[in-house]
């Protein structure tokens, strides 16, 4: 069976839904949205811990890496995420750190707004259709799942990356792009926990602490992020660790994370403070020295990493040298990085379709009539709403340009 479309969008995730809304707004022909899962937008429901951090008030190119030149080509009609969602009836609000959420704080509201928008624009949505092959024949494309075909004048690949495959995208979009002549850069799981020595985090598993985390590559500080760090099973996680994960992934075997778990205090201030605690608690066991400054278990893990002393030793017996060693570990607690967690725990893919092969309109420079949007492109943002912002912006731009290219024929 063959169906005919003017514009076919492969993947009904965040960017594909935005592309469908923009294409249908600019064009009265057939816009077909193709999704391999039984329903559209599954990943959106899991974003922002179910609240969907859909954008950020402090958008700038330095929040992104990869093909950042593509940020310049965004459609002028895409004013902001607030404007885009306002036009489809979703109210949004921002928190004190600039993260933008739906007013309801429910990711389902974002998906509902997008679903209603494509429905009322009469976008033809086809679910349970996994695109296996795209062939360009003369001026049109044939898209197939092996059983039935869809022909289209324009194709937008919005199939996502490799991250969180249980939510739909498993990297097959890259294969579709490669079969059409595109190059895919090296792919890494990003915004993901970093694996370290299991023994170093065993005692503090399940705990969180605020910290400044530095990525040390070949002994030199390469990047720094502040926030909450979580100790999990053989790994460090939390937003600040996620934001360092793409750079860490490229430097496995030569990088470490250094945690400063008393970021508000200098080493000297810390030493003076702990000297006074040592005096006050001189008869109490040294396993309690850091209680009050740090969670008890984290304090004990620091003591263990810093000095070889029994926790039953009275605090008063800790020497100045040992105290300064404890301060050193609090300000620079090192964790060798053994790898990045696998794709199942990653939020995004670092790498993707080379930006050199994509025009500012998001049309391919290799195959005319083919467009890309979203995570499949080699452009990645920090945590905080920047990746969904790219999905809406790039989806809107690809959808609008694909539609206008047909209208202008």
Interacting residue ranges for ligand FAD, rule: CB under 6 A: 10-16, 34-37, 42-43, 46-48, 52-53, 130-131, 158-160, 163-164, 167-169, 172-173, 347-348, 374-376, 385-388, 391
CB of 391 to ligand FAD, least distance (A): 4
Task: Tell me whether residue 102 is exposed, middle or buried, using C-beta atoms within 10 angstroms of its C-beta: 0 to 12, 13 to 18, 19 or more.
Answer: buried
Provide the sign of the torsion angle of the four alpha carbons 42, 43, 49, 51, taken in this order.
Answer: negative
CA atoms within 13 A on the CB side of 31: 31
The helix (H) or strand (E) run that includes residue 271 is helix 267-280
Q: Which is closer to ligand FAD, CB of 172 or CB of 397?
A: 172
Tell me whether residue 52 or residue 286 sits nearer to ligand FAD (CB atom): 52
What DSSP state is assigned to residue 146?
S
**Which lies closer to ligand FAD via its Cβ, residue 52 or residue 257?**
52
Choose between 21 and 306: whose C-beta lies nearer to ligand FAD: 21
Helix or strand (DSSP H, E) at 6 = strand 2-10
Helix (H, G, I), strand (E, B) or coil at 266: coil
**How far are the Cα atoms of 90, 99, 154, 259, 355 from residue 240, in angstroms, in the given order?**
29, 15, 40, 11, 26
**Closer Cβ to ligand FAD, 213 or 398, answer by number:** 398
Task: Tell me the closest approach of the beta carbon of residue 81 to ligand FAD, in angstroms.
Answer: 10
Q: Measured from the CB of residue 108, what is the shortest distance to ligand FAD in angstroms?
A: 14
Q: Please, what is the minimum distance in Å from the beta carbon of residue 226 to ligand FAD? A: 19
Q: CA-CA distance, 396 to 187, in Å (whole number)?
A: 25
Residue number closest to ligand FAD, CB atom: 13
> What's the min distance (Å) between Cβ of 328 and ligand FAD?
36
Sign of the C-alpha dihedral computed for residues 167, 170, 176 and 177 taken in this order: positive
CB of 288 to ligand FAD, least distance (A): 39
In the complex, the smallest distance separating the C-beta of residue 164 from ligand FAD, rounded to whole angstroms, is 3
Round to whole Å and give the CA distance between 219 and 232.
Answer: 25
Nearest to ligand FAD of 259, 376 (CB atom): 376
Which residues 6+ apart lie within 8 Å of 220 measured at CB? Answer: none
Calculate ∠ Cα 110-112-117, nearest 5°. 100
């Amino acid at each position: 069976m063959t169906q005919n479309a003017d514009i076919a969008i492969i993947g009904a995730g965040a960017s594909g839904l935005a592309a469908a809304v923009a294409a249908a707004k600019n064009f009265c022909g057939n816009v077909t949205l193709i999704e391999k899962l039984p329903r559209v937008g599954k990943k959106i429901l899991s974003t922002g811990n179910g609240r969907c951090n859909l954008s950020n008030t402090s958008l700038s190119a330095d929040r992104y890496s990869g093909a950042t030149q593509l940020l310049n080509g965004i459609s002028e009609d895409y004013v902001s995420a607030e404007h885009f969602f306002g036009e489809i009836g979703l109210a949004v609000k921002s928190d004190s750190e600039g993260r933008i959420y739906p007013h309801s704080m429910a990711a389902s509201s974002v998906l509902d707004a997008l679903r209603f928008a494509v429905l009322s624009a009469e976008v033809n949505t086809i679910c349970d259709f996994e695109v296996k092959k795209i062939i360009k024949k003369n001026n049109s494309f044939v898209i197939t799942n092996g059983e039935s075909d869809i022909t289209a004048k324009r194709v937008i690949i919005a199939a996502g990356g490799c991250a969180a495959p249980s939510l739909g995208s498993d990297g097959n979009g890259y294969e579709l792009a490669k079969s059409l002549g595109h190059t895919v850069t090296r792919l890494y799981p990003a915004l993901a926990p970093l694996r370290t020595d299991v023994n170093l985090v065993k005692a503090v598993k399940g705990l969180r602490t605020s910290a400044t985390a530095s990525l040390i590559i070949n002994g030199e500080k390469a990047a720094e992020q502040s926030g909450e760090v979580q100790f999990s099973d053989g790994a460090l996680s939390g937003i600040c660790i996620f934001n360092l994960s793409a750079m860490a992934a490229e430097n496995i075997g030569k990088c470490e994370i250094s945690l400063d778990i008393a970021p508000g205090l200098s080493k000297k201030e810390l030493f003076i403070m702990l000297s006074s605690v040592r005096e006050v608690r001189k008869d109490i066991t040294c396993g309690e020295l850091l209680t009050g400054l740090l969670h008890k278990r984290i304090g004990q893990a620091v003591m263990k990493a810093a000095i070889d002393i029994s926790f039953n030793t009275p605090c008063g017996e800790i020497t100045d040298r040992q105290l300064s060693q404890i301060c050193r570990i609090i300000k620079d607690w090192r964790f060798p990085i053994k790898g990045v967690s696998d794709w199942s725990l990653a939020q995004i893919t670092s790498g993707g379709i080379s930006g050199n092969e994509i025009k500012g309109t998001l049309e391919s420079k290799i195959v005319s009539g083919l467009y890309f949007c979203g995570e499949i492109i080699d452009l990645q943002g920090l945590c905080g709403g920047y990746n969904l912002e790219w999905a809406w912006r790039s989806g809107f731009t690809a959808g609008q340009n694909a539609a206008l290219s047909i209208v202008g024929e």
